[in-house]
Structure 1
Amino acid sequence: MKALVLGATGAVGRHIVESLIDNHEIQEIHVFVRRQVTYTSPKVTVHIVNFDEPREWAHLVTGDILFSAMGTNRKQAGSKEAQWTVDYTYQYEMARIAAQNGVKKYGLVSSLGANPKSKFFYLSMKGQLEDVILELPFEAIVIARPATLIREEPKLVERISCAVFGVINKARVLMSQEPVKTADVAKVLVTATMGQQYGISIIENETIHERAGYFKA
């Protein structure tokens, strides 16, 4: 099986690549990035592309399954418009081209609370992206909606969020909003998308935790 990955150098994306490397069903992994990145696995092929010029790389987007985990924040991007370009335009264009080129399965890292009608820019953007993705002719689509991500080197806001929810969830409340490890999001998304034969699955944050084995009886 040949897998494609968009956002391979990001917090969740690099764990998606690791999960695919370890998966015996995957023979080839093609990552699409803006700058050079090195992998030790012979499975991985790196494509350095200009995402603003899809005609230059569209012919490379062929395979069995596409995972999309590209994202930024407004501070890094510099503006809402720039963030929209990365989080929405680039991801949608890759998905559209993949579907057009016959890729059958698609896995997307979205966000808890994604809703096209949300008053919050980020959640509205994520919801709008989900809506247009669901219109594409993939045979199987899986969307993961994690809450705050726990990275290996968490940012200050993430450390605070984790600490707060750690206290609250001693009573097992608000589990649907509890922060989740990036590696677990990747593992759950890869497993679900590879196992999904047809149709659409939305994996909410609480389910990500459950499938990652966080809440064992």
Structure 2
Amino acid sequence: MNDLKLVVMRFEVTYQLKILTTAFFSVTMLNKKLNGIKWMSLIMLTAGVALVQLPSDSKNPKAKEMTIFSIGDSDHLIGLLAVLTACFSSGFAGVYFEKILKGTAVSLWMRNLQLAFFSIFGGLFMVWLYDSEKVRENGFFQGYNSIIWIVVLLQAYGGLVIALVVKYADNILKGFAVSLSIIISSFISYWFLNDFQPTV
């Protein structure tokens, strides 16, 4: 999303504040009551995000990342504000979607078809805006190989699973599941791919 203005790992962790905004919108829009464990989890999440924003004192030049505390570092501040805006919009959209899913008689599959239909227009507009010349020259599916098709199918499957989770559980639970996936991805990135060095 905004990885040019904010270091990728910090973006991923900071973006998990969407769980906090989702909880806020769940309480205000759906009148949900959160138990003590969920409130404690939200407090720990906020503390974790704040910890990630602290400056690094590592000797590794790659680890000397931008921090919000750097003087004159407007790029990092712009990146952080963009992520916070995304957190609020994501929290609102997720809770609103949950409200629509649980508040109408339309089936989950029909709702997914409706969303997919309208998202096609946005996707085609972006293709026209950025890649229309390449599509005219080489066709729409240029560069697609078996790996790309696997990713497309996994993304489609993931969208259906998320819709089921939202329908039968809630957005807060979905957010914590995504956070767990980031932790697992970080371990894989550190132990097997050697492309992530923790600095705290």
TM over 0.5: no
Q: TM-score, normalised by structure 1?
A: 0.23
Q: TM-score, normalised by structure 2?
A: 0.25
User: Which structure dedicates a bigger proportion of its chain to helix?
Assistant: 2
Task: Say which structure, 1 or 2, has more relative contact order (CA 8 Å, 6+ apart).
Answer: 2
User: Which structure dedicates a bigger proportion of its chain to strand?
Assistant: 1
